Structure 1
Amino acid sequence: MKAVVLAGGEGRRLRPATFTVPKPLIEVDGTPILHLILRQLQSAGFTQVTLSLGYRAQLIEASFDGPHWAGLDLRFSLEHEPLGTAGPLGLLAPLEDSTLVMNADLLTDIDFADLFRRHKKSEAAATIALVPRHVDLAHGVVELDGENRVAGFREKPRMSFLASSGIYVLEPSVLRLLPRRTRYDMPALLKDAAARGERVEGHVLDAAWHDIGTPEQLAAADAALRADRARYLGAFEQHGPGGGTNSAEEAVRG
């Protein structure tokens, strides 16, 4: 199985930390988030992973210079200018099979292999991994009818919705819609695919999911990983990638 991890962003909301360290190398409980993601993908059976890089690409490449990544076909693609959340895929050689695509700023325990299998079984052209989210509003919500009369009132309600996790499985037919070297975002790509008759599905997953895009979100992810590393790293807490006795801590940190 193949995957692409989009790791080219500047991480502006995490400044000043990202002035020197690119966001994919920001540590969560002492481990760079991108290293965590690659260990999860490797554990799920992905054998080839392409990292789409931009900001401080050399630092990210250098972080993978070590024996702990043996057995993983790790490739690098460089965008010389920001191309959005889908545009970098247009720089890759044409893909020949289903490919998992995800952002590099996520801490999650989503079962990537199961998501991939569900996508293949559905025969969809694109699958979006969705996570339920809830927001408790601090204010009362008033509803009016067509004549401005109060029709309803809810005191500090909880609003629920399905959020895109930033994790997708895409077929080559979808990726062929991408223009070359043009900024393009994933929602636009999926909307274009659906407009052309391609089947775009969403799979709702009951999983932990943390975006580390802001200091507050990073702190929440750090606490979650510290509380239960085995939940996110599974077998790597007990064994290294080759099934030996190295701990995940040693394998991931190098």
Structure 2
Amino acid sequence: MKIIVPMAGRGSRLRPHSLTVPKPLIPVAGQPIVHRLVKDIAKVLKQPIDEVAFVLGDPAWFGDDVVKSLEALAKGLGAKASIYRQDKPLGTGHAIMCAKPSLSGPAVIAYADTLIRAEFDLDTEADSVIWTKQVENPEAYGVVKLNNNNEIVELVEKPETFVSDQAVIGIYYFKDVAVLKNKLQEVLDENVMNGGEYQINDGIKRMMADGKVFKIGTVDEWMDCGNKEITVLTNGKMLNFLQSDGEEQLVASSVKLENSNIIEPCFVGENVVLKNTTVGPHVSIGNGTVIENSTVKNSLIQTNTSIKNANLDNAMIGNNVKYNGNFTSISIGDYSVLE
């Protein structure tokens, strides 16, 4: 089994945090988004992963540190890492085709901007499984249309009338991903574009027209990391799941507490110092950060940051920040100084 991860986008909706770190590499609950996504997909698959192929953008943006991080992620799953580049933002279908040498055999394609929690048996005999989440407002999403056999017969974008409540979340299984590759090659050769881009849906629709069987795999939780507000919310949800799982150490043994306390669930990284401070619930703090005379809840704070005299709630603060003030709901990018 392979996992193909297109992740070349810059994540403009998450700025300023994605100005210096690619969005899929921004930590949520202590691990980069793409790391958590790939590991959770591997758990659902319940079978060996042979290869993880990553489609990155410009090397000036997705540099050697990013590549090393992704290689370590694949190695941790017992898989080899393949690195490809998408030089131009020409859509989801184009991104997949950038990994053309890896497009053979059974594979999952997953776009690295969401997190999931799922527990279902993947139907590996179907030609494809499109992963979905039941939603209350399907008119706001791309959804699947099902026949009486619970097979997908159509993809409908933001339907004005009810089609189904199963929203497409951007994760797909293909029994032989080479079939999708061939259809996407037709899309590229014929220059079929939607919104000025080559889309994965156009390849999928051609597979459906050929009679390929598509089924759904419904996830329990689908958590977006599109902007600051929803990323902070996702961080809190993920911390709840991790606390319930009990599989990860969320508070490092090297954390130093001076007249401070931590209200779980929280992630607190290595060599964090808390002085006269209450942290939690639903707070993630990266390695080497120092927080003094503060109260912090429902927030994401990255590495090597200094915070003083703060009362933070629904805040997202980047790496190497210095912050001293009394604002509450804030969003501060890397290397900022507010004193």
TM-score (norm 2): 0.55
Counterpart of 1:177, as a letter, is K
1:237 equivalenced with 2:236 (yes/no): no
> Does the residue aligned with 2:104 lie in a helix, a strand or coil?
coil
Residues 100, 52 of structure 1: CA spacing in aligned structure 2 closer, same or farther, 3 A cutoff? same
Counterparts of 2:70 and 2:179, CA distance in 1: 31
Percent identity (aligned): 26
- Root-mean-square deviation (CA, aligned residues, Å) is 3.2
Write the distance in 1 (CA, Å) between the matches of 2:219 and 2:95: 29
Distance 1:164 1:73, change over 3 A: same
Do the aligned residues in 1 keep the contact of 2:130 with 2:173 (CA within 8 Å)? yes
Deviation at 1:63, TM superposition (A): 2.5
Maintained 8 Å contact 2:183/2:203: yes
CA distance in 1, matches of 2:72, 2:93: 29
Are 1:203 and 2:216 counterparts? yes
Q: Distance in 2 between matches of 1:94 and 1:136?
A: 33
Larger radius of gyration: 2
Partner residue, 1:135:
137
Asked if residue 165 in structure 1 is aligned to residue 169 in structure 2, the reply is yes
Q: Is the 8 A contact 1:53 1:77 kept in 2?
A: yes
Q: Higher RCO, 1 or 2 (CA under 8 Å, sep at least 6)?
A: 1
Alignment match, 2:54 = 51
1:198–1:12 CA distance, 2 compared to 1 (3 A): farther
Query: What's 1:244 paired with?
Result: none
Runs of at least 5 residues in structure 1 that lack an aligned partner in the other structure: 138-158, 239-248
Per the alignment, do residues 23 and 198 of structure 1 end up closer, same or farther by CA in structure 2, a change over 3 Å counting? farther
Letter in 1 for 2:36: L
Change (3 A) 1:33 1:133: same
Per the alignment, residue 188 of structure 1 pairs with: 202
Q: Is the 8 A contact 2:53 2:84 kept in 1?
A: yes
- Aligned partner of residue 24 in structure 2, secondary structure: helix
Is contact 2:130–2:168 with CA below 8 Å preserved after alignment?
Answer: yes
Q: How does 1:22-171 map to 2 (within 5 A)?
A: 22-43=22-43, 44=46, 45-55=48-58, 56-58=61-63, 59-64=65-70, 69-70=75-76, 71-91=78-98, 92-93=100-101, 95-111=103-119, 114-115=121-122, 118=123, 120-122=124-126, 124=127, 126-135=128-137, 161-170=165-174, 171=176
Please state which structure has a larger fraction of its residues in helix.
1
Equivalent-residue separation in structure 1 for 2:41 and 2:118 (angstroms): 10
Counterpart of 2:24 in structure 1: which amino acid? Answer: P
Q: What residue identity is the alignment partner of 1:102?
A: A
Equivalents in 2 of 1:22, 1:7: separation in Å?
Answer: 9
CA pair 160-54 structure 1, distance change in 2 beyond 3 A: same
Q: CA deviation at 1:168?
A: 0.3
How many residue pairs get aligned? The number is 212
Q: How far is the alpha carbon of 1:24 from its aligned partner? A: 0.6
